[in-house]
Amino acid sequence: MSLDNIRIGKCYFIRNHGESTSFVALESIGENDFKIKDLLSLEIYPLSQLIKYGFGNDFELRETEC
């Protein structure tokens, strides 16, 4: 799945550079960037923070149930 397919209000799982988390997309804040709520820590931050070091070999993004 690509970042273009992220939809507001949907839940997602992401794995990148050995780290993984689940989040819900709250709002769009730019081209391919979203304000997200981390479902593990409950923090709110931009998606770009998770991918700021690029896409690793283990990059995975998929929609999940909330």
What are the extents of the domains in the chain? Answer: 3-64
Residue 20 has what pLDDT?
Answer: 94
Task: Sheet with 11-16: list strands edge to edge.
Answer: 44-46, 33-38, 19-30, 11-16, 60-64
pLDDT digits (tens, 9 = 90+) for 38-61: 999 999 999 999 899 999 999 999
Question: How does residue 31 score in pLDDT terms, banded at 50, 70 and 90?
Answer: confident
Q: What is the pTM of this model?
A: 0.90
pLDDT of residue 32: 83
Residue 2 has what pLDDT? 87
**CATH fold label, 3-64:** SH3 type barrels. (2.30.30)
d(CA 14, CA 18): 10
| CA distances, 62 to each of 14, 17 (Å) | 7, 16
Q: What pLDDT score was predicted for residue 1?
A: 85
Residue scoring higher pLDDT (50 or 36)? 36
